[in-house]
């Protein structure tokens, strides 16, 4: 805010009868920034004006909130032990501290904590929630973890993640949403709204192109500007518009040659300039490389400075301000952005009162509902599922299904209520341990089928597993793949593949339940009758899985990522940088796929994936009719009718894809929208989808605008990116729009 505007604002506040005071005297009504009638921007500008230089510097300098074994690091007294971060407040001005906790799936505890872990509720993984294609669900999940964060003493939650799943072996894909920018933006935006409804700042991360873990602190993501704007950056753009996150976290890696946290193009040109983002940018833990460059590029807050080689925003920033390399107005703006978000999200007006009661049963029900909708039925030969309640003998094999469901590792690890159900697995140190949430599928299945006899085999002894499988009428075999921050994963389930094959050979009525961070290869697919992808199923996971297996809930999840048939189908046969000595810089060259990430890549290459993006079976069937498209007030609106032609109630996820005239885009088709429709048997509904004009355009970097070529566009309708039985053409006129997208009046507050 300019000096002139502040003077005018101060005058108007004085006129409104509010006394003003300088930095030395700010008591009671003398703190106009506490006036809730003013906008967040106005309040931030007033508060900054009342701040001393020291107080401003304090706002941009973060502390780690946990002990660091093997170091002399002393956690500041105000921090919440075992947390990711802490930024002291300015009590004399009524500005609270920022207490930061990971992450997008629930309230985590830092692994290095010497204190007891916080036991909290874990949502299913980001991919699971996205597989529901239900933003309402994501919002409810966000509100649940936001409330747990608040009750745990945190007012900043370091999530959700919105990087595109370009690399299906990515160790953190489970924290992200999908390979498509629209699905990602909508789901992440909804989660942000949920978190912030609890007056907790959501931090959208990791900005940007942190699409793999291998060499994450050193690699350089190479991608053209246009392709970047139409892919990963579009996901972030939509998430910001729909969620208005208080903060963004810049990622460890470089993009187009520059570290993200000092990347002028990412932070100034795109985020600040084109998108008009008004919140603040915080660094990832140890992602800062400079003082002056970072400050000038738009990094507002250095997180947990102990992770950086120098405290760049400490004494070095003071010196840079003194000698003018960082102008004073830059520091003022940094402080103002942080404060604006604190006011906008409600951190100042709704102070945290740690120790509030958490209704864990209610929160677990939220996680369970999420998982129920996120489970994807991939195969159901001979209608082996749902398991009839009359089945007499059921074998449950493997995956610690007698104890719990697996969860992802790293900073986002939520330590579950009731403790880790399987101890001693995975690395002792970060990103371990492997955590199993104590929601056992076996017990829940027994609850669903009281008439049946159950036998469990751990799967470690193949001969025993085969005997149990032979005894049973139906076999459910669980396989797990642990994934974690800081390392990427293999697509192979390893020795578990032999277990599945042996069991399937012993009993053809075998159903495989996969708990994984992302796609896996299924060499046994032809041998088994059924397959469920359940992702990392979250705190209510066991119950959700059992309910889907027995048909208490119809499976309605659809894949938010393509499952490759082999690594040869991926843009990179091996994760780039694999095998390089740690710390060796390298390039991840996205120029071949460009904006054609995920299903778009498969379409360009003519590859048939194992399972395509958008795919998911149901216990019922749906038919799509009456596809029509029209321009209404300049917006493309698509109408169609969905009918449930099966015998059970279920939810269809009707997907609309669009293609440009004469294949002018990076890929033949883009997801343009969808509707999730719940229908009773025989029921039908006519619905419409309004297409975001950017999805019909290309980004013109020379003129910083979206441009649509005139011509005949094709719209397809179906239930996956590869099954689109209906299509229609529409002629669209030329259209263009500046990069700055008009957002809601209170956008960015
Ligand atoms: C992760 C972030 C996380 C931070 C704090 C980093 O290693 O990349 O996602 O928020 O640690 O724990």
Q: What is residue 116's predicted lDDT score, i.e. its pLDDT? A: 73
Q: How far is the CA of 262 from the centre of ligand 1 (A)?
A: 18
Cis peptide leading into residue 208 (ω within 30°): yes
* Closest residue by Cα to residue 198 from 140, 147, 136: 147
Q: In this structure, what token pair is assigned to residue 267?
A: 């932070």
Which residue(s) pair with 63 in the sheet? 86
Q: Calculate the dihedral angle through the C-alpha atoms of 124, 126, 129, 131, rounding to the nearest 10 degrees.
A: -120
* Closest residue by Cα to residue 459 from 401, 529, 522, 525: 401
Pocket test for ligand 1, best of 62, 63, 82, 84 (most atoms within 8 A of CB): 84
- CB-side neighbour CA atoms (13 Å) of 604: 19
Strands 220-222 and 587-589: parallel
Successive 10-residue mean pLDDT values, the chain, 749 residues: 51 38 53 97 98 98 91 92 95 98 95 74 98 98 98 98 98 98 98 98 98 98 98 98 98 98 98 97 98 98 96 98 98 98 98 92 98 98 95 98 98 94 93 96 97 98 98 98 97 98 98 98 98 98 98 98 98 97 96 97 97 98 97 96 97 98 89 98 98 97 96 98 98 96 58
* Closest residue by Cα to residue 569 from 593, 589, 587, 591: 593
Q: Which atom of ligand 1 is nearest to the CA of 108?
A: 12
DSSP 538-597: -TTHHHHHHHHHTTSS------SSPBPSSGGGSSSSS-TTTTSPTT---EEETTTTTT--
Pocket test for ligand 1, best of 67, 103, 484, 486 (most atoms within 8 A of CB): 103
Q: What is residue 204's predicted lDDT score, i.e. its pLDDT? A: 98
Q: How far is the CA of 26 from the centre of ligand 1 (A)?
A: 36
Q: What is residue 117's predicted lDDT score, i.e. its pLDDT? A: 83
Give nearest CA residue, ligand 1 atom 6.
285
Q: How far is the CA of 431 from the centre of ligand 1 (A)?
A: 11
Whether the Cβ atoms of residue 172 and residue 161 lie closer than 8 Å to each other = yes
Which residue(s) pair with 718 in the sheet? 655
Q: What is residue 1's predicted lDDT score, i.e. its pLDDT? A: 54
* Closest residue by Cα to residue 513 from 416, 420, 395: 395
Give nearest CA residue, ligand 1 atom 4.
285
Q: How far is the CA of 448 from the centre of ligand 1 (A)?
A: 39
How open is the CA angle 427-428-430, to the nearest 5 degrees?
75
Strands 220-222 and 254-255: parallel
Q: Which atom of ligand 1 is nearest to the CA of 251?
A: 8
Q: How far is the CA of 539 from the centre of ligand 1 (A)?
A: 22
Pocket test for ligand 1, best of 80, 87, 102 (most atoms within 8 A of CB): 102
Q: Calculate the dihedral angle through the C-alpha atoms of 146, 151, 152, 155, rounding to the nearest 10 degrees.
A: 50
CA distance 635 to 688: 12
Residues whose beta carbon lies within 6 Å of some atom of ligand 1 = 84, 102-103, 158, 205, 284-285, 411
Q: What is residue 698's predicted lDDT score, i.e. its pLDDT? A: 97
Q: What is residue 696's predicted lDDT score, i.e. its pLDDT? A: 97
């Amino acid at each position: 805010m300019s000096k002139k505007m502040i003077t005018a604002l101060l005058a108007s506040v004085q006129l409104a009868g509010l006394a003003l005071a300088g930095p030395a005297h700010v008591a009671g009504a003398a703190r106009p920034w506490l006036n809730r009638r003013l906008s967040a921007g106005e309040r931030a500008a007033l508060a900054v004006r009342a701040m001393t230089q020291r107080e401003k510097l304090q706002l941009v300098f973060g502390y780690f909130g946990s002990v660091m074994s093997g170091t002399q690091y002393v956690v500041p007294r105000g921090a919440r032990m075992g947390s990711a971060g802490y930024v002291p407040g300015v009590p004399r001005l009524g500005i609270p501290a920022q207490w930061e906790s990971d992450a997008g799936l629930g309230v985590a505890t830092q692994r290095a904590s010497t204190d007891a872990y916080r036991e909290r509720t874990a949502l299913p993984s980001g991919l699971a929630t996205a597989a529901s294609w239900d933003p309402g669900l994501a919002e409810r999940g966000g509100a649940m973890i936001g409330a747990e964060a608040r009750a745990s003493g945190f007012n900043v939650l370091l999530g959700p993640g919105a990087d595109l799943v370009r690399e299906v072996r990515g160790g953190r894909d489970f924290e992200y949403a999908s390979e498509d920018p629209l699905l990602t933006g909508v789901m992440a935006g909804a989660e942000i709204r949920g978190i912030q409804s609890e007056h907790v700042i959501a931090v959208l991360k990791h900005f940007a192109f942190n699409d793999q873990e291998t060499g994450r602190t050193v690699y350089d993501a190479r991608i053209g500007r246009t392709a970047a704007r139409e892919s990963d950056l579009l996901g972030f753009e939509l998430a910001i518009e729909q969620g208005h996150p208080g903060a963004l976290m810049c990622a460890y890696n470089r993009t187009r040659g520059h570290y993200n946290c000092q990347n002028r193009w990412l932070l100034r040109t795109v985020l600040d300039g084109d998108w008009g983002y008004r919140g603040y940018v915080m660094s990832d833990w140890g992602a800062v490389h400079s003082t002056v460059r970072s400050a000038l590029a738009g990094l507002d807050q250095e997180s947990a400075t102990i992770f950086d080689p120098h405290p760049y925003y400490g004494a070095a920033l003071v010196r840079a301000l003194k000698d003018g390399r960082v102008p004073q107005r830059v520091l003022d703006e940094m402080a103002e952005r942080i404060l604006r978000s604190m006011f906008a999200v409600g951190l100042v007006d709704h102070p945290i009162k740690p120790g509030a009661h958490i209704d864990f049963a209610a929160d677990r029900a939220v996680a369970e509902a999420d998982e129920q909708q996120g489970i994807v039925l991939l195969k159901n030969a001979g209608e082996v599922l749902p398991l009839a309640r009359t089945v007499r003998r059921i074998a449950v094999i493997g995956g610690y299904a007698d104890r719990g469901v697996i969860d992802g590792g790293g900073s986002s690890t939520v330590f579950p209520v009731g403790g880790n159900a399987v101890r001693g697995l995975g690395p002792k140190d970060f990103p371990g341990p492997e955590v199993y949430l104590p929601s056992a599928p076996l017990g829940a299945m027994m609850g669903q089928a009281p008439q049946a006899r159950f036998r469990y085999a751990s799967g470690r002894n193949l001969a025993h597993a085969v005997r149990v499988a032979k005894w049973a009428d139906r076999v459910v075999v669980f396989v797990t793949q642990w994934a974690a921050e800081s390392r990427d994963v293999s697509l192979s389930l390893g020795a578990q593949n032999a277990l599945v094959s042996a069991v399937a050979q012993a009993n053809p009525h075998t159903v495989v339940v996969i708990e994984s961070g992302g796609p896996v290869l299924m060499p046994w697919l032809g041998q088994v009758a059924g397959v469920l992808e359940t992702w990392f199923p979250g705190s209510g996971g066991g119950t959700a899985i059992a309910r889907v297996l027995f048909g208490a809930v119809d499976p309605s999840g659809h894949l938010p990522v393509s499952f490759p048939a082999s690594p040869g189908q991926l843009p990179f046969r091996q994760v780039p940088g694999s095998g390089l000595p740690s710390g060796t810089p390298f390039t991840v060259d996205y120029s071949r796929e460009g904006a054609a990430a995920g299903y778009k890549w498969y379409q360009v290459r003519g590859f048939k994936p194992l399972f395509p993006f958008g795919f998911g079976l149901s216990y019922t069937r749906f038919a799509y009719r009456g596809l029509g498209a029209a321009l209404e007030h300049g917006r493309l609106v698509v109408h169609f009718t969905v009918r449930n032609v099966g015998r059970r109630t279920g939810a269809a996820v009707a997907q609309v894809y669009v293609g440009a005239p004469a294949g002018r885009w990076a890929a033949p088709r883009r997801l343009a929208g969808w509707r999730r429709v719940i229908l009773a048997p025989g029921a039908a509904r006519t619905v419409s989808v309004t297409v975001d004009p950017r999805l019909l355009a290309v980004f013109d970097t020379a003129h910083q605008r979206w441009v649509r070529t005139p011509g005949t566009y094709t719209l397809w309708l179906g239930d996956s990116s590869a099954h689109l039985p209906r299509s229609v053409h529409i002629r669209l006129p030329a259209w263009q729009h500046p990069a700055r997208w008009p957002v809601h009046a209170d956008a960015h507050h």
